[in-house]
Amino acid sequence: MNVRILGCSGAIAKGCRTTSFLLDHDVLVDAGTGVGDLTLDELNGISHVLLTHSHLDHIAALPLMVDATAARRSAPLRVYALQATIDALKAHIFNNTIWPDFSNLPTPEAPYICFHPVTPGQTLQLAGKQVEVLPAVHTVPAVGYAVAMGKGYWVFTGDTAHNPALWARINQLEVALLVIETAFSDRECDLAKRSAHLVPHALASELDFIERGKNYPIYITHTKPAETELIMAEIQRFGQTRPSGRETRHNIRRLQAGQVFEL
């Protein structure tokens, strides 16, 4: 399985695209602004979209990509998300005011898009891929995803704050690569708590949940463009100040748009 990083920024600026990952050619995880860099043929090749939650940076491209490819599709674009996320999309995006309700166009019997609710703990079979829905803790209902790749899992936490339930499940998986958010620097700790995001010292506490002996690549996503360098510098220093006193053993790197992982 290939994982192509279309966008992994917490906001937009030149060269910055918000969260969107393409698994092989047919499964999209989140639909942030990075989707806009795909060609029309690449957009048309996407059959399934997995959404973590309803915030704009994770769904901004969805209504536009449906519009771009609708006339070329022989089957609806299938969107998987929590029911709360689906309800938000229908109420605030696909409502015939902000954007056409493509779940009823061109007809309710043969729409351009169809929604499928998911719940944490559920396992999906999509385009030959096994996808598990993981719990997340955010200001709106949210999830993460773990995708089986044969000998291990590609794990994406989605947007999340302190999340013991996530680590309980991750420790049961053979993780090949973990993508986890750290949206703000430590100086924005109060804002991060209010918005249910991680900062470097909180990330350190979360990584302490990983069982001893487990060591896999960890990639940081969702950093705010104005703070990315500071966030990564603080992450590299947190081994000296981790609450548990445990040494940093993890291989932690910054995720970047354009990267492709062959897993």
Structure-token pair, residue 34: 């990075």
| Residue from 130, 38, 24, 139 nearest 88 by CA | 139
Contact 67, 93 (CB under 8 A): no
CB 81 within 8 A of CB 74: no
pLDDT in tens, the chain (263 residues): 999 999 999 999 999 999 999 999 999 999 999 999 999 999 999 999 999 999 999 999 999 999 999 989 989 999 999 999 999 999 999 999 999 999 999 999 999 999 999 999 999 999 999 999 999 999 999 999 999 987 899 999 999 999 999 999 999 999 999 999 999 999 999 999 999 999 999 999 999 999 988 999 999 999 999 999 999 999 998 754 455 555 556 889 999 999 999 98
Query: Could you list the residue range(s) of the whole structural domain that residue 85 is in?
Result: 2-262
Q: Is 176 helix (H, G, I), strand (E, B) or coil?
A: strand
| CA 221/CA 11 separation, integer angstroms | 11
Partnered with residue 218 across adjacent β-strands are 178, 252
Distance, in Å, from the CA atom of 52 to the CA atom of 115, rounded to the nearest integer, reads 14
Residues 6+ apart with CB under 8 A from 259: 4, 5
CATH code (residue 52): 3.60.15.10
pTM over 0.85: yes
User: In the chain, how many domains are there?
Assistant: 1
